[in-house]
């Protein structure tokens, strides 16, 4: 239901804004200190959320509180601070478990980010299960972080990396994908939402196809977790990965979800303290999962900040965020594609959060510089997805990516900025 609210913002001029099912974007914006500044003399318009998101006050405060009030090493101290830090760290694990609807908190492993989570699976599960002439299946829309770890594994094991193609809209061609699931396929690795195209993949369908042949599926959820509700039990995927910093949490923290039976059977990733239960020079007994995969003193503040981000997202409601961002994307798609000479790259029916485009006669890097002078932050380049660029015969695109605090007014500013680009290059 849409109601209209009036707010006396901006030089006393009443502004009409939509409050969609309780989603009050101006109130949301007030929670993000960084948004309220000028860039090159213009109000900052931050449209680079697929690269990293900004942090709400609650996340910043949680980090400060940790360092001011209960910083200590975890899992081994007998003192007050250590007990408190351990309790908060493990509470964060349960918070992620609930957020992803994982069956057990032991299925949540803290890592540095999506990249490390994928490398962990490739180097542990992969090295055990992938051998010579076996196959790893990915898609043509993957980020480098879901390509290179598998290439390293395939090189080492003399296995083959297979790539399921995408169509001109940037959608996975499911028939081709299913055809590539063969007797030698040992694992499938696929993104939930493409960072370069915005395509949302039908993960549940992909998992069903793979499971029908007893092949496990890893999902790169870096772009999905900040944008939509994710239920790993409903998806039935075997591994799910995401980064805290793209989901309004701190940098340096990420999550690997794995089904318990798989995690338990996997060898450790790194050796050290915390991941052991006893050590002698003859024999080391590893700790239980998830600790087996968390060698050394971890980033303790990271999970604590991530929990604050999850609490924040839950308060807004992931359904509401998804609906609001979809509205923004629809609005931006309509406005930006109406600009003469602009072509959208990635026009899948199911899309989230990302608007990639090119402009006739203007290189994306020049678009980025001109928009920057207007205070607008976008990303230009290959978005760590060079094979996607090759697929569309491009060197680069310009990409605006939206977050839960962006507004239609900001999209209007983007459109005016793009008109200015055309003027400069007219």
- Judged by beta carbon, residue 305 or residue 364, the one nearer another protein is 364
Question: Exactly one of 381, 392, 412, 415 binds another protein (CB under 8 A); which one?
Answer: 381
Catalytic residue among 69, 154, 237, 384: 384
208 binds another protein (CB under 8 A): no
Burial class (CB in 10 A: 0-12, 13-18, 19+), 229: middle
Tell me phi and psi for residue 35, to 5 degrees: -70, -20
* Nearest approach, Cβ of residue 362 and another protein (Å): 7
192 binds another protein (CB under 8 A): no
Tell me the H-state helices in 160-299. 174-180, 203-211, 232-235, 260-265
DSSP 20: E
301 binds another protein (CB under 8 A): no
Stretch that binds another protein, among 75-83, 96-104, 324-332, 382-390 (CB under 8 A): 382-390
Distance from C-alpha of 103 to C-alpha of 280, rounded to nearest angstrom: 34
366 binds another protein (CB under 8 A): yes
382 binds another protein (CB under 8 A): yes
Count of other CB atoms within 10 angstroms of residue 230: 22
* Nearest approach, Cβ of residue 423 and another protein (Å): 10
Stretch that binds another protein, among 26-34, 149-157, 343-351, 362-370 (CB under 8 A): 362-370
- Judged by beta carbon, residue 73 or residue 386, the one nearer another protein is 386
364 binds another protein (CB under 8 A): yes
Q: Which two tokens stand for residue 242?
A: 């995401």
Whether 228 contacts 318, CB under 8 Å = yes
Tell me phi and psi for residue 256, to 5 degrees: -110, 120
CA angle 406, 396, 354 (to 5 degrees): 25
Which of the residues 23 through 42 are near another protein (CB under 8 A)?
40-41
Question: Exactly one of 124, 356, 380, 401 binds another protein (CB under 8 A); which one?
Answer: 380
- Judged by beta carbon, residue 229 or residue 381, the one nearer another protein is 381
**384 catalytic per annotation:** yes
Stretch that binds another protein, among 206-214, 219-227, 340-348, 374-382 (CB under 8 A): 374-382
Distance from C-alpha of 112 to C-alpha of 243, rounded to nearest angstrom: 8
Residue with tokens 């006739």: 360
Distance from C-alpha of 423 to C-alpha of 17, rounded to nearest angstrom: 30
Tell me the H-state helices in 172-277. 174-180, 203-211, 232-235, 260-265
Stretch that binds another protein, among 26-34, 150-158, 311-319, 361-369 (CB under 8 A): 361-369
CA proximity to 186, closest of 212, 213, 206:
213
Please give the positions annotated as active site.
384
Residues that bind another protein (CB under 8 A): 40-41, 361-366, 369-370, 373, 380-382, 386, 389, 395-396, 424-425
């Amino acid at each position: 239901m849409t109601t209209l609210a009036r707010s006396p913002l901006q030089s006393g001029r009443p502004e009409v804004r939509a409050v969609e099912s309780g989603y009050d974007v101006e109130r949301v914006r007030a929670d993000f200190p960084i948004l309220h500044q000028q860039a090159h003399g213009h109000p900052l318009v931050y449209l680079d959320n697929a690269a990293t998101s900004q942090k709400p006050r609650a996340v910043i405060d949680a980090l400060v509180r940790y360092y001011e009030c209960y910083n200590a090493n975890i899992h081994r101290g007998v003192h007050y601070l250590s007990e408190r830090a351990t309790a908060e760290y493990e509470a964060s694990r349960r918070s992620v478990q609930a957020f992803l609807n994982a069956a057990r908190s032991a299925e949540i492993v803290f890592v540095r980010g999506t990249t490390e989570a994928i490398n962990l699976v490739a180097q542990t599960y992969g090295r055990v299960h992938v051998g010579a002439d076996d196959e790893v299946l990915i898609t043509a829309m993957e980020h480098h972080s879901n390509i290179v770890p598998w290439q390293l594994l395939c090189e080492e094991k003399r296995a083959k990396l297979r790539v399921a193609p995408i169509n001109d809209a940037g959608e996975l061609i499911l028939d081709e994908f299913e055809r590539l699931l063969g007797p030698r396929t040992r694992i499938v690795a696929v993104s939930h939402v493409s960072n370069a195209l915005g395509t949302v993949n039908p993960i549940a369908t992909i998992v069903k196809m793979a499971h029908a042949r007893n092949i496990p599926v890893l999902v790169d959820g870096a772009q999905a977790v900040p944008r939509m509700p994710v239920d790993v039990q409903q998806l039935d995927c075997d591994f799910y990965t995401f980064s805290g910093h793209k989901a309004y949490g701190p940098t340096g923290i990420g999550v690997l979800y794995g089904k318990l039976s798989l995690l338990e059977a996997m060898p450790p990733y790194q050796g050290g303290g915390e991941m052991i239960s006893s050590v002698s020079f003859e024999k080391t007994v590893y700790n239980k999962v998830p600790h087996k995969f968390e060698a050394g003193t971890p980033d303790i503040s990271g999970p604590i900040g991530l929990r604050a981000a999850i609490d924040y997202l839950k308060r807004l409601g992931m359904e509401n965020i998804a609906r609001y961002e979809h509205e923004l994307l629809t609005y931006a798609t309509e406005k930006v594609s109406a600009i003469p000479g602009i072509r959208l790259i990635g026009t899948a029916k199911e899309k989230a959060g990302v608007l990639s485009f090119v402009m006739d006669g203007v290189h994306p890097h020049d678009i980025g510089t001109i928009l920057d002078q207007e205070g607008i932050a976008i990303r230009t380049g290959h978005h760590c997805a060079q094979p996607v660029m090759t697929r569309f015969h491009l060197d680069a695109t310009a990409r605006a990516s939206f977050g839960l605090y962006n507004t239609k007014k900001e999209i209007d500013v983007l459109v005016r900025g793009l008109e200015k680009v055309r003027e400069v290059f007219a």
